[in-house]
Structures are given as C-alpha cells and as structure tokens.
Amino acid sequence: MIVPGSGHPADPVAPGEAPPPSARSAAGVARLAARATLPQLDARVSVCRACPRLVGWREQVARERRASYAGEEYWGRPVPGLGDPAARVLVVGLAPAAHGANRTGRVFTGDRSGDWLFASLHRVGLANQPTSRHADDGLRLIGTRVVAAVRCAPPANQPSTEERDACAPWIEREVRLLLPTLRVVVCLGGFGWDAALRSLADAGVAVPRPRPRFGHGVEVDLDGLTLLGCFHPSQQNTFTGRLTEPMTDAVLGRAAELASL
Ligand code: SF4
C-alpha cells in the first residue's frame, strides 16, 4: 500500500505535508466532508478508513496482488476524483476496480473499463489522450472531472447500502463544490445515476419526484443542468455488446456539446 505523502504521483497528500485527518466512521466522513475545499476533500478521501469491510478488502488486494502486477506496489487506498476542479462535465462511476484504480491510485486507470471510458472521452474532445495507464502518464481531462460514487474497491464491485451511505458525503461535497461551473452530469449505470441525483438534491438542485429513472441515453433537464445516463463500461456490458463505442461516444459527445466544450 502507498503511504500517504510518500511522493506517489496520484497522492493528493504532498511529501512533507501534515497528514490529513482520517475518517473512522460514517459520522467522521460527514464531519470531514462538510466545509472541505476540493484539495482538502481529495486528501481526506485518500486516507479514509470508515468502512471496515472495504478497508480490509482494498488492503488485502494490495498485499496479495494479481500475478501480472506482482512487481508493482498497489495504491490500496480510497481513490479521489480526477480532473478539472472547475469542471463543466462530471462523470460519475460506481467504485474503483480492485486491480485498476486500487492499484494505480487514479480513478478508471489501469483496467479495461478505463480504457473504454478514456478512449471515448478523447474521441469527443474531453481528454488529451486516449489511454489511462498509470498516474503520471500525462492524461489531462478537458473541462471534465471523473469520480466514483464509492471511493474504495468493493468485493465483487458491490458496496453494501451501508457503505454507499457512509461514503455519500464525499461525493455530495464534491458535487456541491463543482456546482457553480457544472453543466452536465454523466452517470455510468444506475448506481452512479442514483448517487448523482442524491448529491444534486443535497446541493439544492430541484430534483423531480418521483425521481427520473436511469436508462442509457436518458437525458433529464434539472434547471439548466443536464443529467445523462450511460451504461457502465464494465466488461459485462462491453463484451456482450450491450454498450458499444458509438453508444458511449454519443452520450459523451452530447455532454461535450451541452457543456460547450
Ligand atoms: Fe471511506 Fe468511502 Fe472508502 Fe468507506 S468507501 S472507507 S467512506 S472512502
């Protein structure tokens, strides 16, 4: 596991910087997220230990490693958001992958879902390069930020409801901080959709009741801010053809268009 402040390129804790406070409970997350600036939020997320099952899992994966990455030191910590702090487009995924972001320390980096997502972001003009392999590979997002609804890799990609709720104040605070510039929220899958709607409602955006339902290509106008649905680029969706590259490009291209990027 990467020690905070040890100089890893994904680490929001700079070498020599005082260690950020670490949440040990859901109440601790809520307290530390409230009033945090974006740099503080990133640093506090990266040392969070509020969910015992997820802390145990992310660190076990980091110790045991996949054979093909045996020579790499895994990140093994929660994964903060990536990209423009004044983003007009926010992309909300589910959670870090065990051998992707939990290894590299950067969201959607080092796995097939990330390859799919960043290739599409690049094709529609929202990323400077089509690949996302490791934390210092030169990737730059254009007017865009990418976050996970739950910040730690969960077993079988399935956080519990309790873990989802414990983590919610991180994304809620992030959405609140981004709101002044935000024009579009792209939700990858129903989990991201629900997290985005909850966070937007928490930030004071008028969300209709009953809440709009997720679907690929669904577009909802929320007082000048647009919510877009996109199937999650998981292998389950991309291998089966449920999500194709043109389908992904259509949604992300629409986001770029709406955000005038
Ligand atoms: Fe903290 Fe969220 Fe990870 Fe739970 S899932 S330990 S709340 S960062």
- pLDDT tens, N- to C-terminus, the chain (261 residues): 999 999 999 999 999 999 999 999 999 999 999 999 999 999 999 999 999 999 999 999 999 999 999 999 999 999 999 999 999 999 999 999 999 999 999 999 999 999 999 999 999 999 999 999 999 999 999 999 999 999 999 999 999 999 999 999 999 999 999 999 999 999 999 999 999 999 999 999 999 999 999 999 999 999 889 999 999 999 999 999 999 999 999 999 999 999 999
What angle (nearest 5°) sits at the alpha carbon of residue 103, between those of residues 256 and 231?
A: 35
Read off the CATH number of the domain in which 50 is found.
Answer: 3.40.470.10
Q: Is the CB of 166 under 6 A from ligand 1?
A: yes
Nearest Cα to Cα of residue 204 among 230, 179, 226, 229: 179
Cβ–Cβ < 8 Å for 161, 105: no
Domain assignment present for 6 = no
Task: Give the total number of structural domains in the chain.
Answer: 1
Pocket test for ligand 1, best of 167, 170, 171, 173 (most atoms within 8 A of CB): 167
| Domain that includes residue 198, residue range | 26-258
Tell me whether residue 18 is in a domain: no
In a domain, 173, yes or no: yes
Distance 20 CA to ligand 1 centre (A): 15
Atom 4, ligand 1: residue with shortest CA distance? 51
Ligand 1 centre and the CA of 50: distance in Å?
5
- Which of 150, 162, 165, when mutated, tests ligand 1's pocket best, judged by the most ligand atoms within 8 Å of its CB? 150
Q: Which residues of 131-167 are buried (b: 16+ CB within 10 A; e: fewer)?
A: ebbbbeeebebbbbbbbbbbbbbbeebebeeebbebb
16: in domain? no
